[in-house]
Structure 1
Amino acid sequence: MTTTPPRRIRRRARRWAGRLRRVPVVGALLPRPRVSSRGATPPPAVASAVAAYEAGHLALAWDRFQDVPTADWRRWALEEYLRSGLAHDRASVLTSLRELVADPTADVAPGGWDVAVGLAFAERESDLARSLYARLDDAVTSRDRTERHVRESRDWMRSWVERDPVSASAPAVAPGTVPFAVLAYGHPGRRRASANIGDHVQSLAVLGHLVRRTKVRFEGDERLATALTELQGRVPDRLRHDGPAADVSVITVDRDASAYAEVPPQTWTIAFGWYMHALFGTSRYGLPFHANLLPVFVSFHCSKRDLLTPEVVDYLREHGPIGCRDWTTVDLLLSMDVPAFFSGCVTTTVSTVFPDLVDVPAADAPRAYVDVPADQVPEGGVTYRHGDDRIRTTPFVDNLLRAAALLETYRTQHSGLVTSRLHAYLPARSLGMDAEFVPPKPSDPRFAGLIPLDDQRLSDIRTGITGLLEQVLDSILDGAAPDEVYALWREVTAERVADARSRHEAPAATPVRSRPLPAVRARGVLVSRAGQAPAAVEPAANGHEVVVVVGRGAVTDQLTALLASLDAHSRQPVRVTLVGPGAGDVEIAAQPAVEVRTVETNGSTVDIVLTLGDLLPDVDLAVVLPAGAVVHEDLAALAGLDLGGRVFAAPNTQALRRSSGFGVIEAAAVRLGADTDRSTELRRIAYQAHAFDFDAFDVDVLVLDLAAMRGSGQVSDALAQVEAYGLRLREALQLLAGPDRALVPERWAVRRGLAPRTGAALEIRA
Structure 2
Amino acid sequence: MSKNALLDYKATGGYFNIGDYVQSIAAKQYFSNIDLLLNREYLNDKNIEPCKLIMNGWFMYKTKNWPISPNIDPLFVSFHLNAHIADTLLSRQENITYLKQYEPIGCRDFYTVNILKKYGVDSYYSSCLTTTLPKIEVPKTDDIVFFDVLFNLDKKSYYERIPRHYYRDLIKFKLPKLQDHKEYLKSIFPEEIVNNAKFETAFYKEKGTTSEDRFKEAERLLKTFASAKLVITSRIHCALPCLAMGTPVIFIMGGLNNSSDLSRLDGIVQHFNMVNLDSGLDLSSLKNLNLIKLDEINWEEPIPNPTSHLQYTQHLIDRCTDFTKN
Q: TM-score, normalised by structure 2?
A: 0.69
Instruction: Report the counterpart of residue 460 of structure 1 in structure 2.
Output: 311
Q: CA deviation at 1:261?
A: 5.7
Instruction: Report the counterpart of residue 55 of structure 2 in structure 1.
Output: 271
* Equivalent residue in structure 2 for 1:259, among 44, 51, 55: 44
Q: Which amino acid letter does the alignment assign opposite residue 326 of structure 1?
A: D
The whole-number CA distance in structure 2 between the counterparts of 1:404 and 1:376 is 27
* Equivalent residue in structure 1 for 2:268, among 450, 453, 457: 450
* Equivalent residue in structure 2 for 1:201, among 12, 18, 22: 22
Instruction: Report the counterpart of residue 149 of structure 2 in structure 1.
Output: 372
**1:156-208 per-position Cα deviation (integer Å, ceiling 9, x unaligned):** xxxxxxxxxxxxxxxxxxxxx4312211113xxx6378610000000001111
**1:343-396 per-position Cα deviation (integer Å, ceiling 9, x unaligned):** 111111122xx4434x422xxx13100011432352332211111233x65222
The whole-number CA distance in structure 1 between the counterparts of 2:213 and 2:20 is 13
1:465–1:196 CA distance, 2 compared to 1 (3 A): same
Q: Which amino acid letter does the alignment assign opposite residue 221 of structure 2?
A: L
The whole-number CA distance in structure 1 between the counterparts of 2:94 and 2:14 is 24
Q: Within the alignment, does 1:184 sit opposite 2:35 as a pair?
A: no
Instruction: Report the counterpart of residue 147 of structure 1 in structure 2.
Output: none
Contact in 2 for aligned 1:418/1:438 (Cα 8 Å):
yes
Contact in 2 for aligned 1:253/1:261 (Cα 8 Å):
no
1:192–1:252 CA distance, 2 compared to 1 (3 A): farther
Instruction: Report the counterpart of residue 54 of structure 1 in structure 2.
Output: none
Contact in 1 for aligned 2:109/2:265 (Cα 8 Å):
yes
1:262–1:194 CA distance, 2 compared to 1 (3 A): farther
**1:575-612 per-position Cα deviation (integer Å, ceiling 9, x unaligned):** xxxxxxxxxxxxxxxxxxxxxxxxxxxxxxxxxxxxxx
Q: CA deviation at 1:335?
A: 1.4
Contact in 1 for aligned 2:16/2:203 (Cα 8 Å):
yes
The whole-number CA distance in structure 2 between the counterparts of 1:260 and 1:193 is 23
- Superposed, 1:178-327 pairs within 5 Å as 178-186=2-10, 191=12, 195-210=16-31, 216=32, 218=33, 225=34, 250-260=35-45, 262-265=47-50, 267-278=51-62, 284-302=63-81, 303=83, 304=85, 305-308=87-90, 309-327=92-110
Q: CA deviation at 1:452?
A: 2.0
The whole-number CA distance in structure 2 between the counterparts of 1:438 and 1:423 is 13
Instruction: Report the counterpart of residue 116 of structure 1 in structure 2.
Output: none
Between Structure 1 and Structure 2, the one with more helix by share is: 1
Contact in 1 for aligned 2:4/2:53 (Cα 8 Å):
yes
**What RMSD, in angstroms, separates the aligned Cα atoms of the two structures?**
2.2
Q: Which amino acid letter does the alignment assign opposite residue 449 of structure 1?
A: G
Structure 1 residue matching 2:74: 3-state secondary structure: strand
**1:196-235 per-position Cα deviation (integer Å, ceiling 9, x unaligned):** 000000000111122xxxxx4x3xxxxxx5xxxxxxxxxx
The whole-number CA distance in structure 2 between the counterparts of 1:379 and 1:368 is 11
Structure 2 residue matching 1:436: 3-state secondary structure: strand
Structure 2 residue matching 1:328: 3-state secondary structure: helix
Q: From the CA coordinates, give the structure whose radius of gyration is larger.
A: 1
Instruction: Report the counterpart of residue 137 of structure 2 in structure 1.
Output: 356
Q: Within the alignment, does 1:428 sit opposite 2:227 as a pair?
A: no
Contact in 2 for aligned 1:185/1:194 (Cα 8 Å):
no
Instruction: Report the counterpart of residue 5 of structure 1 in structure 2.
Output: none
Structure 2 residue matching 1:319: 3-state secondary structure: coil
Contact in 2 for aligned 1:419/1:438 (Cα 8 Å):
yes
Contact in 1 for aligned 2:7/2:39 (Cα 8 Å):
yes
**1:80-136 per-position Cα deviation (integer Å, ceiling 9, x unaligned):** xxxxxxxxxxxxxxxxxxxxxxxxxxxxxxxxxxxxxxxxxxxxxxxxxxxxxxxxx
Instruction: Report the counterpart of residue 411 of structure 1 in structure 2.
Output: 226
Question: Greater relative contact order: 1 or 2 (C-alpha under 8 angstroms, separation 6 or more)?
Answer: 2
Instruction: Report the counterpart of residue 473 of structure 1 in structure 2.
Output: 324
Q: Which amino acid letter does the alignment assign opposite residue 258 of structure 1?
A: L
Structure 2 residue matching 1:260: 3-state secondary structure: coil
1:261–1:417 CA distance, 2 compared to 1 (3 A): farther
Instruction: Report the counterpart of residue 157 of structure 2 in structure 1.
Output: none
Contact in 2 for aligned 1:421/1:439 (Cα 8 Å):
no
Contact in 2 for aligned 1:197/1:387 (Cα 8 Å):
yes
1:393–1:259 CA distance, 2 compared to 1 (3 A): farther
Q: Within the alignment, does 1:328 sit opposite 2:111 as a pair?
A: yes
Q: CA deviation at 1:444?
A: 1.0
Contact in 1 for aligned 2:236/2:268 (Cα 8 Å):
no
Unaligned runs of 5+ in 1: 1-176, 211-215, 219-224, 226-249, 279-283, 476-766
Unaligned runs of 5+ in 2: 151-181, 187-193, 272-304
Contact in 2 for aligned 1:258/1:290 (Cα 8 Å):
yes
Contact in 1 for aligned 2:18/2:203 (Cα 8 Å):
yes
Instruction: Tell me the percent identity.
Output: 26
Q: Which amino acid letter does the alignment assign opposite residue 337 of structure 1?
A: G
Contact in 2 for aligned 1:256/1:285 (Cα 8 Å):
no
**1:512-561 per-position Cα deviation (integer Å, ceiling 9, x unaligned):** xxxxxxxxxxxxxxxxxxxxxxxxxxxxxxxxxxxxxxxxxxxxxxxxxx
Q: CA deviation at 1:397?
A: 2.3
Q: Which amino acid letter does the alignment assign opposite residue 103 of structure 2?
A: G
Contact in 2 for aligned 1:420/1:439 (Cα 8 Å):
yes
Contact in 1 for aligned 2:242/2:249 (Cα 8 Å):
yes
**1:34-72 per-position Cα deviation (integer Å, ceiling 9, x unaligned):** xxxxxxxxxxxxxxxxxxxxxxxxxxxxxxxxxxxxxxx
The whole-number CA distance in structure 1 between the counterparts of 2:232 and 2:20 is 19
Structure 1 residue matching 2:221: 3-state secondary structure: helix
Q: TM-score, normalised by structure 1?
A: 0.31
Instruction: Report the counterpart of residue 385 of structure 1 in structure 2.
Output: 201
The whole-number CA distance in structure 1 between the counterparts of 2:64 and 2:313 is 29
Q: Which amino acid letter does the alignment assign opposite residue 380 of structure 1?
A: N
Structure 2 residue matching 1:306: 3-state secondary structure: helix
Structure 2 residue matching 1:462: 3-state secondary structure: helix
Give the aligned length. Answer: 246
Structure 2 residue matching 1:181: 3-state secondary structure: strand
Contact in 1 for aligned 2:106/2:125 (Cα 8 Å):
yes
Q: CA deviation at 1:259?
A: 2.5
Contact in 2 for aligned 1:370/1:424 (Cα 8 Å):
yes
Q: Within the alignment, does 1:341 sit opposite 2:162 as a pair?
A: no
**1:283-335 per-position Cα deviation (integer Å, ceiling 9, x unaligned):** x4332112311111111111322222221111111122211000111011111
Instruction: Report the counterpart of residue 275 of structure 2 in structure 1.
Output: none
The whole-number CA distance in structure 2 between the counterparts of 1:393 and 1:185 is 15
Q: CA deviation at 1:432?
A: 0.6
Contact in 1 for aligned 2:136/2:226 (Cα 8 Å):
no
Structure 2 residue matching 1:182: 3-state secondary structure: strand
The whole-number CA distance in structure 1 between the counterparts of 2:41 and 2:15 is 10
1:193–1:468 CA distance, 2 compared to 1 (3 A): farther
Q: Which amino acid letter does the alignment assign opposite residue 273 of structure 1?
A: G
Contact in 1 for aligned 2:14/2:205 (Cα 8 Å):
no
The whole-number CA distance in structure 2 between the counterparts of 1:319 and 1:450 is 23
Q: CA deviation at 1:276?
A: 2.6
Q: CA deviation at 1:255?
A: 1.1
The whole-number CA distance in structure 2 between the counterparts of 1:355 and 1:419 is 20
1:299–1:193 CA distance, 2 compared to 1 (3 A): farther
- Superposed, 1:466-615 pairs within 5 Å as 466-475=317-326
